[in-house]
Amino acid sequence: AQSVTQLGSHVSVSEGALVLLRCNYSSSVPPYLFWYVQYPNQGLQLLLKYTTGATLVKGINGFEAEFKKSETSFHLTKPSAHMSDAAEYFCAVSEEYGNKLVFGAGTILRVKS
Amino acid sequence: DTGVSQNPRHKITKRGQNVTFRCDPISEHNRLYWYRQTLGQGPEFLTYFQNEAQLEKSRLLSDRFSAERPKGSFSTLEIQRTEQGDSAMYLCASSFHYEQYFGPGTRLTVT
């Protein structure tokens, strides 16, 4: 069965510092991987996705993530945090095209001024 | 493209009552998904449709829950005989390819 583990339910960084949010997954087949962001009282917004091809994927708002098969990881990074990045971030995996997503428990990112 | 819409945005009901939520997907999307999210957790899959066919249901979807997607357009999720444990955010998403686009959710509070 698929599962997703997000290390750290809360991450705090200073404005301008590197953001690193960790995601590890388990899957019996090559996965499709996603990062979503959720602002308070809003739905989930897709940040980026990995399906096939290049393992370093770029998304919106300066975020990127690298698929590392050997480590079963898909960590999310951003070189320089902005106050507007404060939100909850979810990593998700799907084993089939168009199939359900399995989400991690989420990481709340706090950005300090 | 107006995005995925959900109604109502908030619902407060008393235990034992029935509730129904509606989801309108992005118009050209053939897949529609329902998820449930409780505080401090990621969304959990409930069920999904391809066009009007319901293709998968989670074990979380007890017999008190039913979902429909008539004519492959909007979808409804009904919860009968609500329990306090049903209090959660109910999220709808739609897709045409890999990406699922989420609506704002319906927050259900069962008192």
CA distances from A27 to A47, A82, A92 (A): 21, 33, 11
Cα–Cα distance for residue pair B62/B84, rounded to 1 Å: 14
Of the candidates B33, B48, B99, the beta carbon closest to that of A49 is on B99
pLDDT for B76 equals 98
Asked if B42 and A104 come within 8 Å (Cβ–Cβ), the reply is: yes
Cα–Cα distance for residue pair A34/A37, rounded to 1 Å: 10
Of the candidates B41, B48, B91, the beta carbon closest to that of A100 is on B48
pLDDT for B1 equals 55
pLDDT digits (tens), chain B, 111 positions: 579 999 999 999 999 999 999 999 999 899 999 999 998 899 999 999 999 999 989 988 889 999 999 988 999 999 999 999 999 999 999 998 888 999 999 999 999
pLDDT for B42 equals 94
pLDDT for A96 equals 79
Asked if B104 and A43 come within 8 Å (Cβ–Cβ), the reply is: yes
CA distances from A41 to A7, A21, B110 (A): 24, 22, 18
**Residue A6 Cα, gap to closest chain B Cα (Å):** 10
pLDDT for A2 equals 84
pLDDT digits (tens), chain A, 113 positions: 789 999 999 999 999 999 999 999 998 777 899 999 999 878 899 999 998 888 999 999 999 999 999 999 999 999 999 999 999 999 999 977 778 999 999 999 999 99
